Every structure is written in structure tokens, then in C-alpha cells.
Amino acid sequence: MNLCRYQHINRFAIAAAVLFVLLLSCLVLFAYDNISNQLPDSPKQKYRLIFREDFNGDTLDLKHWRKIPRNVKVAWSACLSDHSSLYDISDGRLRLYARENTGVNSGDTAKYLLGGVETKNMVGFTYGKVEVRARMTGAQGVVSAIWLVATKPKPYPDYMELDILEHINERMTADQTVHNNYIDKLGFKDKPLYQVKPQVNYLKYNTYAVEVLPDRVIFSINGRNTLVYPRIETQHAGQFPFGSGELFLRLNMEAGYNKWLRDVDLSKFPVYMDIDWVKFYDVAL
């Protein structure tokens, strides 16, 4: 083969390969931007601020918050405690701790003690939006959780839960998840997509949010949509229970209770989540 011709073909092949890589990168970026199931754009929803918490005092506002009570029958809440060492309000933020129970509370047999607060029966909405600005530390075996659940618990097929954030172990990701009968019991986890795990620097403050509307649920981080879960036409029960009751907010630590959280790294304790502020909105008329 003529050397010049070979070099020309070789340069053409390299250029084609580079172009292919660039196109592939663009497609990946496009897919990320359209991670919300590639739904058509809709007019931006208008909201009305109904509650804001900046944690500017030094005590918990009991008109709007309560410490989540322990429930040993439920794994995630089996080690929750109202012990004062698990809660700190100062410098304009609420800090919730996960601590090893080594002399923290001698009268408590739990291996770990965990802090958590909620707005049950005090602040919530049926349709609306909640934003939480938070940062956290991490350790193997620990979860920092921000989630919405129904004020009046309903069993499947009417159960509804929105995990605005689950920061698990020391992963540089934020799990955002829809829970309902259609997903949890019937197993429909990709039609439509029910969960995303976008990258996030959890050590810095980020704003985690979810919007609940009659036709869709929209998750976002720092104002960028990460997942849209739509109401769809289906004969299967419990695909879109949202709107059937009021949702309230939980902020809490979790540790060592399931397959994600084995082998808790106690050398990293205490672990904590800082909440800078919380905002609730309802849908403006």
C-alpha cells in the first residue's frame, strides 16, 4: 500500500474515532439532562411559601417539630432517641447525630443512638414542594435521610413515600426514590423510572427538593431536576397515590439495620447531618 495513502486513511480513521467519542459524550450528557424520563416540558409551577425554618434559636420549635419517637418494631427507628446529645441547634443550623452508646445513655441498651425530627400533624401539604438545605458526614453503616411520608399511614396498595435524600455510607451520591405499591410490591421499577443516584458532594451544603403535583413528582438538587415520576394510565393499583393525603417531613439518622449498612465503622462516630433551613410551599392558585 502507498505510504501516503495509508497515512491518509489512518488520519481519517482517527478523526472518525474522535468524532464518535464526542458524539457519544454528547448523547451521555443529553441522557443525564433528560434523566426525568424524557417527559415533555410543562409550565413552571407557581408556589406559595407556607413555612420556613432557619434554626436561628437554640431550642427546637415544638409548634412545628417533634423528635421522632423510637419504634423498635421498625428497623430504621429502633435506635432513635430523644437524648439531648443527639441534637444541637446553634450557628443557625440543626445538627442530628449518630453516636455509639458508650456511656451516652447508661439506661439505654441500644448499640447506637440516633437523632431525628419530623413535622407530623404540624406542617405538611397534599400538593406542594419542600426544600431542605443540608450537609452531612459519612461512615460505613450510616444513612442520613430526608423524606416525606403520609400523615395518616395507609397500608399497601395506598402507601406513599418520597425519599428526597438517602446518603448511604460514604458514597458521593444522593439516592432519591419513589415508594408505592406499584414499585415496592408489584415490582414496576423502570416503567416509569422510580429512582436516581446523582453524584453530589455531601460534605458541602446542597438543596434537596421534591415537588408533588397532580400529574407528577419532581426531584431536584440545587435547582436541577434529577427525576420526574409521572402519573400513568395503568390497571395496576397504587401507581400514583400522591394527592390522596397530606405528606409531612422527616429528617433523621439511621445506622446498621439492613444489607446496605452492615459492619458499622464506629471509628468514624459520631456522624451527623446539618440542616441549614427547610421550606414548605403549597401550590399557588
Band (231; pLDDT cuts 50, 70, 90): very high
Statement: residue 22 has pLDDT above 70: no
118 backbone dihedrals φ, ψ, rounded to 5°:
-150, 165
Structure confidence by residue, pLDDT tens digits, 141-173 = 999 999 999 999 899 999 999 999 999 999 999
Where on the phi/psi map is residue 43: left (φ > 0), alpha (ψ -120 to 50), or beta?
beta
Q: Please report, rounded to a whole number, the percentage of residues in the chain having pLDDT higher than 70.
A: 85
Q: How confident is the model at residue 259 (pLDDT cuts 50, 70, 90)?
A: confident
Instruction: Determine the Cα angle at 246 with ends 240 and 250, to 5°.
Output: 100
What's the pLDDT score for residue 43?
Answer: 61
Task: Give CA–CA dist 178/62, Å, rounded.
Answer: 29
**128: helix, strand or coil:** strand
The CATH number of 42-283, from 3.60.9.10, 1.10.290.10, 2.60.120.200, 2.60.40.3500, is 2.60.120.200
pLDDT band for position 13 (cuts 50, 70, 90): low
Mean local confidence (pLDDT), 37-59: 80
Average pLDDT of every residue of the chain? 88
Indicate the pLDDT class of residue 258, thresholds 50, 70 and 90: confident
What pLDDT score does 25 carry? 43
Would you state the pLDDT for residue 285? 63
pLDDT at 16 over 60: no
pLDDT tens, position by position, 84-133: 999 999 999 999 999 999 888 888 989 999 999 999 999 999 999 999 99
- Rounded CA gap, 257 and 269, in Å? 16
State how far the Cα of 75 lies from the Cα of 62, in Å rounded to an integer: 26
Q: Tell me which range, 1-5, 22-26, 27-31, 70-74, is most confidently predicted by mean pLDDT.
A: 70-74
